[in-house]
């Protein structure tokens, strides 16, 4: 094979790894019934692809090829080990039978293995922290260091938690399946929470060079669509609407250098009108059901922003009303902070500043960079330059994402 063709194969394999590796992994878990064996098999399959596709060409269905190759690699690996450990011989035989049987059978309820994997990772026998960590690691493929950074814990501590969670799934025989419709509603809250956390990590990465991780936000939306097909619940509608409406602003949220552009300064012609239309329809359907919750309320707020032709034309009174409802449904300091910013837009920066300072004075959000950034912006609008500068510096101390840090540094420079 020519050098250019070799490079083409490697590029294709790299692209497939980015886009398909977690789907391949999820299917291998279904076929093999073991997290670690599936992970090892997936990596071996991608390694084999680099070698064999250079010789034989790229197959018509690369994902199916990777799954099939990974399955055989796993069975061969267990067979080899069984030569030195007799206890593995029965496992190898049983594994081959199970994998062959599952490979031939189709699941007619939900065809997506990653949705099955989410319900496994979000099983109620696991703590909420483990559910999120395991989903981000196993479903989305985030590195242990990335998840640890988001959780503000050390990578070894997180790695131990994930190992314990996998052991619990294995030892308790937690099934790799979507619950029946009768069992689904009580399990839904955890799954919605995890999908939204995955979306948020993609929409606004917790740390690193990039503001956005498109692969994660798109994957969360895809999972939201699948969940809505399975269960047309008002809150599933609300979550999908919220993600679509937020994602619609993706292309306008950063400039060509990756620097942050605030909502009020964004070029609204870059907003995705198709996503806005779909999200607005979904949120209106959910509100009409009168059985909506926190995701629908947040989607309603996002819908007001998305359907405003300009920042100046935004109906801030309506947004404040939705925040009032959200505070009743889910009281939290972050919701209170967001409401304070909306009040500042409706009634003026001085009123908003008093609300933000009351949150900080009682000790809430003192390590949350956006709280300090909000105070700084309101002080800046009031002409209180020194106060604004100090708050921007406080925000900078706690910001971990490089585009946000650059934005805060610019604000400090502008203030002299």
Q: What is the pLDDT of residues 205-257, one digit of tens each?
A: 544 445 456 777 887 898 899 888 877 889 999 999 999 999 999 999 888 88
Same-domain check for residues 168 and 100: no
C-alpha 94/C-alpha 97 separation (Å) is 5
* Residue that the structure tokens 């300064």 belong to: 265
Residue range of the domain that includes 168: 111-195+208-231
Give residue 279's pLDDT: 97
Same-domain check for residues 220 and 124: yes
Q: How many H helices and E strands in the chain?
A: 19, 0
pLDDT at 355 over 90: yes
The answer to the question of residue 200 being in a domain is no
Comparing 283 with 229, which gets the higher pLDDT? 283
Closest to 73 measured CA to CA, from 102, 93, 105, 43: 43
Angle in degrees, 0-180, between the axes of helices 273-289 and 234-247, rounded to the nearest 10: 160
Comparing 180 with 69, which gets the higher pLDDT? 69
Q: End-to-end CA distance of the chain: give it in Å, rounded.
A: 60
Contact 194, 132 (CB under 8 A): yes
Same-domain check for residues 283 and 320: no
- CATH code: domain of residue 387: 1.25.40.10
End-of-domain residue from the set 289, 312, 335 = 312
Same-domain check for residues 101 and 8: yes
The answer to the question of residue 184 being in a domain is yes
Residue 110: pLDDT band with limits 50, 70, 90: very low
pLDDT at 87 over 70: no
End-of-domain residue from the set 73, 90, 109 = 109
pLDDT, average across residues 378-404: 93
Give residue 108's pLDDT: 37
Task: Read off φ and ψ for residue 400, nearest 5 degrees.
Answer: -110, -15
The answer to the question of residue 139 being in a domain is yes
Same-domain check for residues 93 and 138: no
Q: What is the pTM of this model?
A: 0.74
Kindly state the tokens that stand for 217.
């936000």
Number of domains in the chain: 4
Same-domain check for residues 150 and 225: yes
Same-domain check for residues 307 and 337: no
The answer to the question of residue 59 being in a domain is yes
pLDDT at 85 over 80: no
Same-domain check for residues 277 and 336: no
The answer to the question of residue 185 being in a domain is yes
Give residue 323's pLDDT: 97
C-alpha 13/C-alpha 317 separation (Å) is 51
Query: Burial letters for 171-193: b for 16+ Cβ neighbours within 10 Å, e otherwise?
Result: eeebebebbeeeebeeebebbbb
Same-domain check for residues 273 and 332: no
The answer to the question of residue 260 being in a domain is no
Other Cβ atoms closer than 10 A to 104:
7
pLDDT, average across residues 271-295: 95
208: left (phi over 0), alpha (psi -120 to 50) or beta: left
End-of-domain residue from the set 50, 84, 109 = 109
Angle in degrees, 0-180, between the axes of helices 294-306 and 316-329, rounded to the nearest 10: 170
Give residue 109's pLDDT: 34
pLDDT, average across residues 183-196: 84
Kindly state the tokens that stand for 91.
């496992």
Same-domain check for residues 391 and 332: yes
C-alpha 112/C-alpha 128 separation (Å) is 23
The answer to the question of residue 201 being in a domain is no
On average, the pLDDT of the chain sits at 86
pLDDT at 107 over 50: no
Same-domain check for residues 219 and 297: no
Same-domain check for residues 60 and 168: no
pLDDT, average across residues 110-127: 80
The answer to the question of residue 11 being in a domain is yes
Residue 119: pLDDT band with limits 50, 70, 90: confident
* Residue that the structure tokens 């949220």 belong to: 253
Q: How far is CA 142 from the centre of its chain?
A: 10
């Amino acid at each position: 094979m020519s050098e250019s063709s070799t490079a083409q194969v490697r590029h294709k394999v790299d692209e497939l790894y980015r886009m398909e590796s977690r789907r391949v992994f999820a299917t291998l878990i279904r076929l093999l019934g073991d997290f670690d064996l599936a992970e090892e098999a997936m990596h071996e399959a991608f390694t084999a692809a680099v070698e064999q596709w250079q010789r034989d060409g790229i197959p018509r269905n690369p994902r199916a090829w990777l799954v099939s190759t990974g399955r055989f690699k796993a069975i061969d690996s267990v067979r080899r080990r069984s030569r030195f450990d007799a206890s593995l011989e029965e496992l190898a035989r049983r594994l081959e039978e199970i994998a062959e049987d599952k490979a031939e059978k189709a699941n007619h309820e939900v065809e997506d293995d990653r949705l099955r994997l989410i319900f496994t990772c979000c099983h109620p026998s696991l703590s909420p922290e483990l559910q999120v960590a395991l989903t981000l690691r196993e479903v989305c493929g985030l590195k242990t260091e990335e998840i640890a950074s988001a959780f503000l814990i050390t990578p070894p501590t997180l790695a131990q938690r994930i190992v314990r969670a996998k052991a619990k799934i294995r030892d308790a025989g937690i099934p790799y399946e979507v619950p029946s419709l009768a069992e689904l509603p009580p399990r839904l809250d955890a799954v919605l929470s995890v999908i939204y956390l995955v979306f948020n990590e993609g929409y606004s990465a917790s740390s690193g060079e990039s503001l956005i991780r498109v692969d994660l936000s798109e994957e969360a939306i895809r999972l939201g669509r699948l969940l809505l097909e399975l269960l047309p619940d008002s809150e599933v509608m609300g979550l999908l609407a919220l993600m679509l409406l937020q994602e619609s602003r993706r292309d306008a949220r950063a400039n060509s250098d990756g620097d942050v552009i605030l909502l009020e300064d964004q070029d609204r012609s870059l907003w995705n009108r198709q996503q806005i239309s779909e999200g607005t329809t979904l949120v209106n359907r959910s509100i009409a059901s009168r059985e909506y919750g926190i995701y629908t309320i947040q989607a309603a707020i996002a819908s007001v922003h998305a359907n405003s032709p300009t920042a100046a034309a935004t109906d801030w009174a309506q947004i404040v009303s939705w925040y009032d409802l959200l505070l009743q449904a889910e009281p939290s300091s972050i919701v209170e902070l967001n409401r304070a910013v909306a009040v500042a837009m409706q009634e003026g920066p001085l009123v908003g500043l008093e609300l933000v300072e009351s949150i900080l004075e009682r000790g809430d959000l003192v390590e949350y960079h956006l709280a300090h950034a909000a105070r700084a912006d309101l002080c800046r609008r009031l002409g209180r330059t020194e106060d604004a500068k100090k708050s921007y510096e406080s925000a900078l101390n706690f910001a971990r994402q490089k585009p946000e840090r650059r934005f805060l540094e610019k604000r400090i420079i502008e203030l002299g």
